[in-house]
Amino acid sequence: MESLYILIPISVVLVFIIGVLFWWSLRNGQYDDMEGPAYRMLMDDRDEGRPGADEAATPQVGRGADAKKRD
């Protein structure tokens, strides 16, 4: 029974902290765009800006893998 004197205030403080963090996330726009990050994850933009990225992106039709090494 004595443990309730400790557990109840701790739980009230924990609920208050969680409420403040949730309110902060709402105010800072954390839930504004729910679809954008999912589409951003699917977009392949890793090769942009690297030298030679255009050469690696175009497939060599009709040539074997060894022919690419000889070039």
Residue 67 CB contacts under 8 Å (≥ 6 apart), including other chains = 60
CB 47 within 8 A of CB 53: yes
Q: Mean pLDDT for the chain?
A: 79
pLDDT higher than threshold 60 for residue 55:
no
Give tens-digit pLDDT for 43-54: 876 666 666 655
Q: What mean pLDDT is predicted for residues 42-69?
A: 62
Nearest alpha-carbon partner for 55 in 43, 71, 44, 66: 71
